Structure 1
Amino acid sequence: MVHTLNRLRLAAVNIDGVLLNDTFSPVIHRFLVDRGCVYTAELERSIFSQPRAVAGRLLAEAIGGSVTPQAALELYFRDRAEYLETHPARLDEGAVELLRRLRAAGLRTVCYGGLDKEHFDTFLGPYADLFDDPGYICTDTFRPGVHEIVTEYFGLKYDEALFIDDVANVGRAARELGVPFIGHPSDFRHSFQPQLMREAGVRHIVDSLDAVDEELLRTLDEEAALGTVWRD
């Protein structure tokens, strides 16, 4: 692999909402609204990219505490299974091409997300050669996982890793650590992620994976080298 960038060494790419289409925002929205919740940006911010145990508690609280956190999770995943029957998960447009561009730039690549590795194997197993060991990292117990992926899994400095994610909370964590970040927020019509990313100070927001091109990668690489990823 020929390394063509100066500072960046790793690209960590979220699975659901980036490499796969967003099948979480619509279900969370429907789960809450159907149970009488007023869906707000703060409610969305509090729930997204949380460990399952925390998300279950928040969902249960949001619908009035009438069920336990575990029961709320079970209801949520039941709703999601029903949603997937008519809105199946699939590779997002441009996902494989994005991975190839990252590899062509000399970056090690890894995928991460909150579901078990079986989810990754199902949809990205045929493209395992486009990822570096361990291929996929389940971050459920340590979300958002920016610190752990960079330092514990790859032994890198914060400014040597680029994260691509659809959730503002991950961008916020990246900002706190000085980690380069590209936001790819959901286009779901009720999503607050574009707004929340702007509020979090995310500077690079794309509406398609094709926009994560060589020029943008070089821009992030230069910013990482200069220490200006999160400031002009």
Structure 2
Amino acid sequence: MRHLSLVAVNIDGVLLNDSFSPVMRRLVESRGGTYSPRLERELLSQPQLAAARRAAAELGGSPEQLLRDYFAEREAYVREHPVHLLDGAAELLATLRSLNVRTVCYGGLERAHFDRHLGRYADCFDAPGYVCTNDFRPGIHEITELFALRADQVLFIDDVARVAEAARDNGVAFIGHPADSEHDFQRQMMIEAGARHIVGSLKEIDETLLRTVDGEAVAGSVWR
């Protein structure tokens, strides 16, 4: 890579299947709420308690109880839909290693989630390997600062438009990998945010695309 020094890759929804937004939809609709683009935007990539407070404002009840109910619902969901590595994830990590760029994983759960599902790929990441962003989501500024880099030296790969918006506002390169479902709203939100690169498969994030983004970072044109 000529310019980019770090690629930060989201864990759930990029490397692993999304086991969060389907549960959010199920919980909202089971309580008589409407799962709208506005509500999804206000729930995803937020600190857990902040999202619970927003959900409570919509559905009633206490945020703390909603959060407990949410994780109980997620446990049931992952029994039906086990957490697994997405197609193309291993290839993406191998490509990043071949480009000699630092790579870190991040997400809203504690490190044990990373160790359990991605521990066998630990060598593909640079120290600290995984960053839990629950206390400072979406984490664009904090992860960039953690590696002592400028905004234009970092690329984020994420499935949530809120992260795209934060990347845009900070001048950070971004590749979107929204869920491939007619019931999800993130792709359209990423388009509206001005994301230049939105993929439907991790296999699209190949060396050619990564070098294209690297060239845009050199030119200062990572955003439209």
Normalised by the shorter chain, which TM-score bucket? over 0.9
Tell me which of 162, 165, 171 is aligned to 2:155.
162
**Aligned residue identity for 1:55:** A
Q: TM-score, normalised by structure 1?
A: 0.95
**Aligned residue identity for 2:17:** N
Whether the 8 Å CA contact 1:6–1:222 is kept in 2: the answer is yes
Tell me which of 84, 104, 119 is aligned to 1:90.
84
Aligned to 1:221: 214
The one-character-per-residue Cα deviations of 1:49-81 (angstroms, maximum 9, x if unpaired) are 000110110111111x2x111111001111111
For 2:31, what is the secondary structure of its paired residue?
A: coil
Residues 221-230 or 188-197, more deviating? 188-197
Aligned to 1:81: 75
The one-character-per-residue Cα deviations of 1:84-111 (angstroms, maximum 9, x if unpaired) are 1110110111111101101111110000
Tell me which of 130, 135, 148 is aligned to 1:136.
130
**Aligned residue identity for 1:218:** R
Tell me which of 39, 50, 54 is aligned to 1:54.
50
Tell me which of 9, 12, 15 is aligned to 1:13.
9
For 1:106, what is the secondary structure of its paired residue?
A: coil
**Aligned residue identity for 2:10:** N
Matched, 1:110 2:104: yes
State the 1:188 CA deviation: 3.2
CA distance in 1, matches of 2:58, 2:73: 16
Aligned to 2:36: 40
Aligned to 1:199: 192
For 2:135, what is the secondary structure of its paired residue?
A: helix
CA distance in 2, matches of 1:163, 1:88: 25
* Root mean square deviation, CA, Å: 0.7
State the 1:224 CA deviation: 0.4
For 2:8, what is the secondary structure of its paired residue?
A: strand
Aligned to 1:211: 204
Determine what percentage of the aligned residue pairs are the same residue.
Answer: 56
Whether the 8 Å CA contact 1:11–1:110 is kept in 2: the answer is yes
CA distance in 2, matches of 1:113, 1:199: 23
State the 1:34 CA deviation: 1.1
State the 1:129 CA deviation: 0.5
Q: In 2 relative to 1, CA 197–114 (structure 1 residues): closer, same or farther, beyond 3 Å?
A: same
Matched, 1:23 2:42: no
Whether the 8 Å CA contact 1:25–1:188 is kept in 2: the answer is no
How many pairs does the alignment contain? 224
Matched, 1:230 2:187: no
Q: Note the residue ranges of structure 2 that are not aligned, 5 or more in a row.
A: none
Off by >2 Å, runs of 4+ in structure 1: none
